[in-house]
Chain A
Amino acid sequence: MKLNKNITEKNSIFKNWMVILAAILFIILPFIINAYWVDVLFFFGIYALLGLSLNIVLGEVGLFDLGHIGFMAIGAYTTAILNATFGIPIIILLPVSAIAAGAFAWLVCSPIIHLRGDYLCIVTIGMGEIVRLTLNNNPFGITGGPNGVFGIDFPSLGSIFVVDNSTKFYYFIWLIVGLTIIGLVNLQRSRIGRAWNCIREDEIAAEATGIDVRYYKLLAFVLGAGLAGVAGNVYATKLMMVSPESFNFMESCMLFCIVLIGGMGSIPGVLIGAAAISLFPEFFRTFAQYRMLIFGAAMVAMMVFKPGGIWPRKRGAVKFKSLLMKAGDENG
């Protein structure tokens, strides 16, 4: 018993050290690498945030969402239009885009939330495509059609903290990702997180135990969409423009792959998946036109050799063991 306890404690300390080391590495990294790679790591951050947001829907609840990029588009366009047309500061628009994307998700997902598996999948694809095509068609002359919206400000807090270069953007996105991870880790351990996992494992059993399946599914969609909206906001301010082509079906598929390559419902897994998707094409830039060919083959190989993902989530085993031991200690 004692031996076991030592091992689990050692494990958690080891894990904490890993997290702290990773955080330090991320803080000092921009001083080591050049601006190009800082930008690459910024987009890694965007993909990580999007991956985390899809992970809520796909990883935690097991809902097939292949139109997730549509929520990001809503966030990005909310920011772009409100900032470029009405001059509202970006930092205010950050929560506004999250709320807009979340509200949109609630609106479109309410009538379709009862669909199962592949039917939900195709409806979310359709939803994502409708968003993209509508933006492309310039409704009421506000989205700028295929050209998109230009002239978006940098995020700023007063006139001192202006996020206006690659390094600052890098810290900005990773600060958001860091906060999101802390929030999601807590969420995983909460009543909501357990209800989500229960629905994923067996929907009927979940319903039978009194979980409001419809409510929790919608909650997952709204939260996921809100986070994607935040990612859209940062993405829009970084590029200073948005256009519909950034939000195509292929991107939704890539997000899907991020979650599955990393491991369903696993937060470190999502980070690894995001790294694989965003960094891999950069490392293989020398192969030019064969780059995506290799990328696709790598995706197949990855799934064939490691179908559960790189870092699959181990569910509460350690925690359970320590609880048992506590009970054992009290008794003996």
Chain B
Amino acid sequence: MKIILEQLLNGLTIGSFYALIALGYSMVYGVMKLINFAHGDLFALGSYLGYTLLVFGSTYVTVTFGIWGGMIAAMLIAAIGIGIAGTLIERIAYRPIYSVGRLPAVVSALGASIVIQNGIMVAWGPRPQAYPSQVVPSIMLNIGEFKITLLQVIILLISFMLMGLLYYIVQKTTFGAAIRACALDRDTAALMGINIETIIFFIFALGPALGGMSGVMVGMYYRKISFIMGWNYGLKAFTATILGGIGNIPGAMLGGLLLGVLEMLGSAYISTAYKDVFVFLVLILVLIFRPRGLLGEKVAEKV
């Protein structure tokens, strides 16, 4: 029982990374109907930005803000940096081709992804980098009979806070209503006086910013980061997005957390080597029986 609970907790930790990245995919898809293949690499870029801030900037960042402040500052700066990178990509690679259908944007996104990936390789070198070991003091907390590290608590707290914040913005505020209106029907939303440009800017800044923060947390959790990790996490997060129902914000969160838990349980109780196979099999099975994902609504085909 204790082991299952600990595995569940590990799964939730990984799942919260996936969920944060998945939110970026889902928001962009919801409004633009575009799979932002560069999103995974933006996440990796965020991880590297955080790495630079925590290692080379430690004399400034950590001294100025203290240990906790340093961590928060690194995450915020990474988030801002990746938000800017996300909007830049939208301007350069996607905006000119919105009008010509969806497929050219896929190639453009893949191209942007290759550019970011190789940009990281050129800038930071092809070898994997290691995050500093004591970003957060490694303290083991004993709650009852099961153990949890302080780092995990912090990661879960921050992730759930971010997810809650996003949920609040999208579901409860006027601005969120505007985003949802755009997701339903962009042309009609524009006729109702919603500024589509602002919405798109916001979507492409916020989604990647969440991914960037997730990148910093992955760096702190696993400590090893590499320039190709964007593909792997991006693919998993995209899977999570589809699992929950693409374009659906709570769906992306649920899909991400579920995927993390499935992966952990799969590697603990089935086979470590086949954990990814297990994840994809579950995805395919879900889609066979619920073709719109877990929380996706069935949309009638327009004739």
Question: In the bound complex, do residue B104 and residue A260 qualify as a contact, i.e. CB atoms below 8 Å apart?
Answer: yes
Bound CA span A292–B227, Å: 13
CB-CB < 8 A to B105: which residues of A?
303
Question: In the bound complex, do residue B277 and residue A133 qualify as a contact, i.e. CB atoms below 8 Å apart?
Answer: yes
Chain B contact residues: helix, strand, loop or mixed: helix
Number of A-B contacts (CB under 8 A): 132
Given A112-B287, A115-B291, A303 and B104 contact (CB-CB distance below 8 Å)? yes
Question: In the bound complex, do residue A256 and residue B107 qualify as a contact, i.e. CB atoms below 8 Å apart?
Answer: yes
- Of the four ranges (under 10, 10 to 19, 20 to 34, 35 or more), the interface on chain B belongs to 35 or more
B274 at the interface (CB under 8 A from A): yes
B239 at the interface (CB under 8 A from A): yes
Question: In the bound complex, do residue A261 and residue B107 qualify as a contact, i.e. CB atoms below 8 Å apart?
Answer: yes
Bound CA span A257–B106, Å: 8
Bound CA span A275–B43, Å: 31
Question: In the bound complex, do residue A256 and residue B287 qualify as a contact, i.e. CB atoms below 8 Å apart?
Answer: no
Question: In the bound complex, do residue A292 and residue B114 qualify as a contact, i.e. CB atoms below 8 Å apart?
Answer: yes
Question: In the bound complex, do residue B114 and residue A122 qualify as a contact, i.e. CB atoms below 8 Å apart?
Answer: no
A150 at the interface (CB under 8 A from B): no
Given A300-B108, A300-B115, A126 and B231 contact (CB-CB distance below 8 Å)? no
B281 at the interface (CB under 8 A from A): yes
B269-301: contact bitstring with A at CB < 8 Å (1 yes, 0 no)?
A: 000011011001101100110011100000001
B251-276: contact bitstring with A at CB < 8 Å (1 yes, 0 no)?
A: 00000000000000000000001101
CB-CB < 8 A to A308: which residues of B?
100, 104
Tell me the count of chain A residues lying within 8 A, CB to CB, of chain B. Answer: 43
A296: contacting residue among B100, B114, B292, CB under 8 A? B114
A199 at the interface (CB under 8 A from B): no
Question: In the bound complex, do residue B114 and residue A249 qualify as a contact, i.e. CB atoms below 8 Å apart?
Answer: no
A299 at the interface (CB under 8 A from B): yes
Bound CA span A299–B301, Å: 33
B94-117: contact bitstring with A at CB < 8 Å (1 yes, 0 no)?
A: 001100110111111011111111
CB distance from B289 to the nearest CB of A (A): 10
Given A122-B242, A249-B231, A253-B110, A130 and B277 contact (CB-CB distance below 8 Å)? yes
CB-CB < 8 A to B35: which residues of A?
118, 121
CB distance from A296 to the nearest CB of B (A): 3
A127-153: contact bitstring with B at CB < 8 Å (1 yes, 0 no)?
A: 101100110110000000000000000
A328 at the interface (CB under 8 A from B): no
B122 at the interface (CB under 8 A from A): yes
B79 at the interface (CB under 8 A from A): no
Question: In the bound complex, do residue A122 and residue B107 qualify as a contact, i.e. CB atoms below 8 Å apart?
Answer: no
A28 at the interface (CB under 8 A from B): no
CB distance from A280 to the nearest CB of B (A): 12
Question: In the bound complex, do residue B110 and residue A299 qualify as a contact, i.e. CB atoms below 8 Å apart?
Answer: yes
B303: contacting residue among A204, A260, A299, CB under 8 A? A204
A307 at the interface (CB under 8 A from B): yes
Question: In the bound complex, do residue B115 and residue A133 qualify as a contact, i.e. CB atoms below 8 Å apart?
Answer: no
B103: nearest chain-A partner, CB-CB = A260
Bound CA span A257–B291, Å: 26
Of residues A114, A130, A299, A300, which shows the largest number of chain B Cβ atoms within 10 Å of its Cβ? A300
A290 at the interface (CB under 8 A from B): yes
Interface residues of B (CB under 8 A from A): 29, 35, 37, 92-93, 96-97, 100-101, 103-108, 110-119, 121-122, 126, 231, 235, 238-239, 242, 246, 273-274, 276-277, 280-281, 283-284, 287-288, 291-293, 301, 303
Name the 7 nearest CB pairs between A and B, nearest first.
A299-B111, A296-B114, A126-B280, A296-B115, A307-B104, A300-B111, A303-B108
Apart from A112-B288, A126-B239, A137-B274: 18 A-B pairs, beta carbons within 8 A = A111-B288, A122-B283, A126-B281, A126-B283, A129-B276, A134-B274, A249-B235, A289-B118, A290-B122, A292-B117, A296-B114, A296-B115, A296-B117, A300-B93, A300-B115, A302-B111, A303-B104, A308-B100
